[in-house]
A = this chain, B = another copy of it.
């Protein structure tokens, strides 16, 4: 499926205003509400739009500590990888995980209520896991740009 400029504008708007009605979109796109709705539906069904999320203030949930944890595994077999991937999936405080070029095997983004909780995560969950060799954690002090929409157009 290919995206025309109207699709791009629609995605760009929905990325910022996820609850925009078909009528709102119609105004932005200079289209009728029915047609705007049909385009959205098409983008949802084709998977370009993966879903919708409410954004919640972490502090209001008591999540006061955001940190990045770099993890090195003991060895680099397929088995170790899947075992660690399983761990990632089961821990909700790990909200994102990446593998990257460079020295560390994994970069984790984690949210915890406080420093003791982060400490427990590191020592009782990550380091306690047999495939984990080393971790290095950095605590977020400030987030001058917070999860902005993807660059479109």
Chain A residues within 8 Å of B, Cβ to Cβ = 3, 11, 14-19, 47-58, 60-61, 63, 66-68, 85, 88-89, 92-102, 106-107, 111, 138-152
Contacts and interface: CB of A to CB of B under 8 A. Distances in A.
A138 B19 CA distance: 35
A143 B49 contact: no
- Number of copies of this chain in the oligomer? 2
Contact of A11 (B50, B61, B89): B61
B11 A56 contact: yes
A145 B49 contact: no
B53 A47 contact: no
A75 B128 CA distance: 39
A77 B14 CA distance: 38
A150 B58 contact: yes
Given A15-B54, A89-B145, A92-B152, 7 more contacts: A47-B57, A49-B54, A50-B56, A58-B150, A95-B148, A96-B148, A99-B141
Given A19-B18, A60-B3, A150-B63, A95 B145 contact: yes
Given A56-B150, A150-B61, A51 B18 contact: yes
